Structure 1
Amino acid sequence: MNPSLLRKVLDEAHELKKLYKEKPVPISPKPLDGVSVSMIFEKRSTRTRVSSETGLYKLGAHGLFLSSQDIQLGVNETIKDTSNVLTRFNDIILARVYKNETIVALEEGAPGKVINALCNLYHPLQTLADLQTLEEKWGKGGVAGKTLAWVGDGNNVIHDLMLGFLFLGGSVRIATPPGYECNAGVVKTCQDFLGPDKAANLYFTTDASEAVKGADVVVTDTWVSMGEEDMYKKKVAEFAGYQVTEKLLSGANDGALFMHCLPRHQEEVDDEVFYGPRSIVFDEAENRMWTVMATVLGMRGLSVCGAK
């Protein structure tokens, strides 16, 4: 992803949402009629699966759900060979997997035909939805000059979100407990993009209250990711003081928003914030569909201009 491509996908997502919300009947002919998508899910999901399958249906495409029980990814043949075979049947592979290496191997077998729907390092579709949601509140280009504060684990969600937010001209302040920092390679990519003149636009701390100072949006995520269930007690103890509350948000700017990509747990954010007027978490969840639709259209070289 680069700034110009990010801008293009977001613009497409905004137009898709407007078009489908305003039309009383489905678009016809559907722009992706006859297109098929292999949907590989090593990790189960609610939002990713439902948003992808529904979005593909709206566009006329067929989503083929493949769980770890349906295919043995990397067991009897290489992942590269599997992706090569799948794209002889299907036009695109959408993959929600455990390891980034799996995404890389899939891409080797099917260059330019793989959508990363989540791995241990990145979650680009979530970032697209988050940025679309913020632009709905702040206007197109509204991220420029704004500050995002992250409070929680230095995980795949913030890896893409900090890069996307910086691409659009914002600043990012990240608070993680000691030992839960963001991936060093991803941080370097962000720093290289900013350069020395804008290095101050990316700030790291272990103090949650310090991170939210002057923030326009505060974001957190699940502390215990899928596959880390045995670490629950340890992580909750080490994340003490990181729950997002109105007291914590008092250091943010007036009108600061709150986001969480779901599923949400009480220890991460209390009810007052999660269900309060600052929260835009359900708009954020809805926009998972519009952004994956925009992504698939873009991969096929199409846009809603041709769909009207």
Structure 2
Amino acid sequence: MSKHVLALEQFDRQQLQSFVDRAIELKSERKQGVRHEQLAGRTICLLFDKPSTRTRVSFEAAMYGLGGNVIFMSSKDSQLGRGEPLKDTARVLARYVDGIVVRTFGQEIVEELARYSDVPVINALTDLYHPCQILSDVMTVIEKKGALENLKIVWIGDGNNMANSWIEAAAIFGFSLTLACPQGFDPDEKVLARSKERATQSITLLRDPVEAIKDADVVNVDVWASMGQEDEQEERLELFQPYQLNRELLAKAKDDAVVLHCLPAHRGEEITEDVLEGPQSVAFDQAENKMHIHKALLDQFID
């Protein structure tokens, strides 16, 4: 198994399932008051180019919850913001810490850091992938719905990094995934092609959100403009309006369908207030599960 977590496609189903199972176990033990100290004396560095609330706090809480230590650095606090080569940063940090968690723009950044780092590098978000988030989403679905195989999972909106990692998850875990994205906002072509070759169930890309959501067990949405796309906000608001998850659209899914949103949510844009705060929304369970998945990954990868 790879010593880094860069994308879900690096792993097989058994490996990904083991991360989810371990997260569920750690979550249960935490609720029972069990104290975890297996990473006592270990330190990770959070190296973030992009701002964060949930990802930063959940990784910090996860590491502290395993008895370890955390050093946080934004790009403006490090030499990365002043042009130091990534390979130098990787080799130096690897002599100081036991793991590097990276939240950045280009996937090539985490890949180069991993190439030169002697300690694990974990992708906490790039413009191409969001692997840790999707593992926490899968964990949430399993908690709410049980086995994944017979579920229809739907993604509605932008074909962004979340969509790409959902596509990889569908191929690896073996569940059906339907995506509804506006023309010109599709998931990455290479990710989709590779995943379809690996998939045992259908991965379908549609334009019509009403057709996509029909009989869905799980409905997943995200913001229409991600970090770095703020200048496209107004254009996207108009183009994506038919993809808003509101009561009318959600009614096309199964009555017991659950709604996922990785947060932060723009109420009144990609999702309405009544849906996000409604009984089918599991967004806040999903947010909690980030911490438990991060614990499981740190427990597995930090030596």
TM-score normalized with structure 2 length: 0.93
Structure 1 partner of 2:45: 38
The reply on whether 1:201 has 2:202 as its aligned counterpart is yes
1-structure distance, mates of 2:283, 2:171: 21
Out of 139, 145, 149, the position equivalent to 2:150 is 145
Structure 2 partner of 1:305: none
2-structure distance, mates of 1:95, 1:212: 34
1-structure distance, mates of 2:167, 2:119: 24
Letter in 1 for 2:17: R
Structure 2 partner of 1:256: 257
**Pairing of 1:82-97 with structure 2 (within 5 A):** 82-97=89-104
CA contact (8 A) 1:2 1:167 kept: yes
Q: Which runs of 5+ in 2 are unaligned?
A: 1-10
Structure 2 partner of 1:240: 241
Task: State the 1:267 CA deviation.
Answer: 0.7
Q: Which runs of 5+ in 1 are unaligned?
A: 302-308
2-structure distance, mates of 1:124, 1:111: 21
| Secondary structure at 2:17 match in 1 | helix
Structure 2 partner of 1:304: none
CA contact (8 A) 2:101 2:121 kept: yes
Indicate the larger mover: 69-78 or 82-91.
69-78
| Secondary structure at 1:154 match in 2 | coil
Structure 1 partner of 2:181: 176
**Pairing of 1:208-287 with structure 2 (within 5 A):** 208-265=209-266, 266-287=268-289
CA contact (8 A) 2:219 2:259 kept: yes
Task: State the 1:300 CA deviation.
Answer: 3.1
TM-score normalized with structure 1 length: 0.92
Q: Aligned residues, how many?
A: 292
Task: State the 1:250 CA deviation.
Answer: 1.7
Indicate the larger mover: 232-241 or 111-120.
111-120
CA contact (8 A) 2:168 2:195 kept: yes
CA contact (8 A) 2:156 2:221 kept: yes
Structure 2 partner of 1:306: none
The reply on whether 1:6 has 2:30 as its aligned counterpart is no
**Cα gap change, 1:137 to 1:56, in 2 (>3 Å):** same
Task: State the 1:111 CA deviation.
Answer: 5.2
CA RMSD of aligned residues (A): 1.3
Structure 2 partner of 1:295: 297
Letter in 1 for 2:131: P
| Secondary structure at 2:39 match in 1 | coil
| Secondary structure at 1:241 match in 2 | helix
C-alpha distance after superposition, 1:151-201 (max 9, x if no partner): 10000011112221332221000000010000011101211112xxx4x61
The reply on whether 1:157 has 2:162 as its aligned counterpart is yes
